[in-house]
Chains A and B, each alone.
Chain A
Amino acid sequence: MNLETILFFIFGLIAAISSILMITRNNAVIAALYLILNFASLAGLYLILNAQFIAVAQVIVYAGAIMVLFLFVIMLLRPENEKKFLESNPKVKIFAFIIAGFVFLQLVYIIFFSRAFNLPFNNQASVEAGKIESIGYLLFKEYVLPFEAAGFLLLAATIGALILAKKKID
Chain B
Amino acid sequence: MTITIEYYLVLSAFMFLVGVAGVLTRRNAIIVFMCIELMLNSANLTLIAFSSFLGSSVGQLFVFFVMTVAAAEAAVGLAIIIAIFRNRLTVNLDDINILKW
Q: Which residues of A contact B (CB under 8 A)?
A: 1-2, 4-5, 8, 12, 15-16, 19-20, 22-23, 28, 31-32, 35, 38-39, 42, 45-46, 48-51, 53-54, 57-58, 61-62, 65-66, 69-70, 73-74, 76-77, 79, 82, 85, 88, 92-93, 96-97, 99-101, 103-104, 107-108, 111-112, 117, 119-122, 125-126, 128-130, 134-135, 137-139, 143, 146, 150, 153-154, 156-158, 160-162, 164-165, 167
Contact = CB atoms under 8 A, between A and B. Distances in A.
A15 B25 CA distance: 20
Interface of B: 1-11, 13-15, 17-22, 24-28, 30-31, 33-35, 37-38, 41, 44-45, 48-49, 51-58, 60-61, 63-65, 67-76, 78-83, 85-86, 90-92
Nearest to A167: B86
A119 B7 contact: no
B8 A35 contact: no
Contact of B52 (A39, A53, A130, A167): A130
Contacts of B1: 1, 5
A88 B27 CA distance: 10
A61 B15 CA distance: 20
A129 B6 contact: no
